[in-house]
Amino acid sequence: MPKQTFLNLPEEKRKVIINAAIDEFAEYGLENASTNRIVANSGISKGSFYQYFEDKQDVFMYLLIVLEQEKMEYFKGKHPPSTNMDTFGYFRWMIKTGMEFNSSHPLLTQAITRVMFGEGMYYGNTFADVRKRTAQGLRIMIEQAIQKGEVDPSVDVDLAVMIIETWSNAISSYILNEGMKQKDIIKWVRSAKVQERIDKLLYVMEYGLRKTESDFEKTFQERKTS
């Protein structure tokens, strides 16, 4: 976490340093990031850098706080289009709204994604509690969907949680990587073609979770005998 000396800086100077760090992590990740480049691109001395942060990982951890704050502010004014949405409809809305956020903060999102998932930091001990809370939230969502009759009760809840988390991360990474190639990422994400693609990707996940284990077993047996 940043030291008090960093927090005491004028907001404009803090933004310059943070933007330099975002550019660095988006381009190089954490492992290959250079403190020297962050220092040079933010116009501060190396001594000042270490008065503000312990090291480059300390800077990255602060970017996670920045991301969380930006997301909370962004979602304040967002509301589902309907109060009668089923679980998957609400989940689809959350994913799409999240992608809208990502497209409005492409470099910050790319920097976080590259380190957390590309370099596997998310799966280490540092974020074990975060993963646990995320899994618990998804588990509650699936269990409620089962109670509502939206998901067959024979579906393995733990497997469903793994599928949703993995599929969501894969879709988000795909959209972000493709979007960064576009001249206007926000316009691209909002286009009918991309929205349809997101719907289709989410439908594959939804359809798999709605099918019962007996359906899978029947298909599996048919394939074995064919």
> The CATH number of the domain where 113 resides is what?
1.10.357.10
Q: Of 77, 108, 123, at which residue does a domain stop?
A: 77
Q: Where is average pLDDT lowest: 46-55, 69-78, 202-211?
A: 202-211
Domain housing 30: 1-77
Q: Of 22, 42, 77, at which residue does a domain stop?
A: 77
Mean pLDDT of 152-181: 82
d(CA 77, CA 115): 29
165 closest CA partner among 143, 198, 137:
137
Q: Cβ neighbours of residue 186 under 8 Å, at least 6 residues apart?
A: 100, 103, 104
Question: 175 and 206: one domain?
Answer: yes
- The three-state secondary structure class of 199 is helix
Does pLDDT of 63 surpass 90? yes
Question: 108 and 191: one domain?
Answer: yes
205 closest CA partner among 147, 148, 145:
145
Question: 42 and 89: one domain?
Answer: no
Q: Cβ neighbours of residue 19 under 8 Å, at least 6 residues apart?
A: 42
Question: 108 and 200: one domain?
Answer: yes
Mean pLDDT of the chain: 85
Does pLDDT of 10 surpass 70? yes
Question: 11 and 89: one domain?
Answer: no
- What's the total number of domains in the chain? 2
Question: 220 and 134: one domain?
Answer: yes
Question: 115 and 186: one domain?
Answer: yes
Handedness of CA 96, 147, 163, 213 (dihedral sign): negative
> Does residue 127 or residue 16 have the better pLDDT?
16
Q: Of 44, 77, 110, at which residue does a domain stop?
A: 77
Question: 139 and 170: one domain?
Answer: yes
Mean pLDDT of 97-111: 87
Question: 84 and 69: one domain?
Answer: no
Both tokens of residue 57? 């990982």
164 closest CA partner among 74, 84, 80, 94:
94
Place of tokens 């480049």: 37
Does pLDDT of 219 surpass 70? no
Question: 186 and 85: one domain?
Answer: yes
Q: Kindly give the interhelix angle for 106-113 and 56-76, rounded to the nearest 10 degrees.
A: 130
Question: 93 and 44: one domain?
Answer: no
Mean pLDDT of 77-83: 81
Question: 116 and 226: one domain?
Answer: yes
pTM for the full predicted model: 0.77
pLDDT recorded at residue 19: 96
Does pLDDT of 215 surpass 60? no
Name, of 18-32, 152-166, 181-195, the range with top average pLDDT. Answer: 18-32
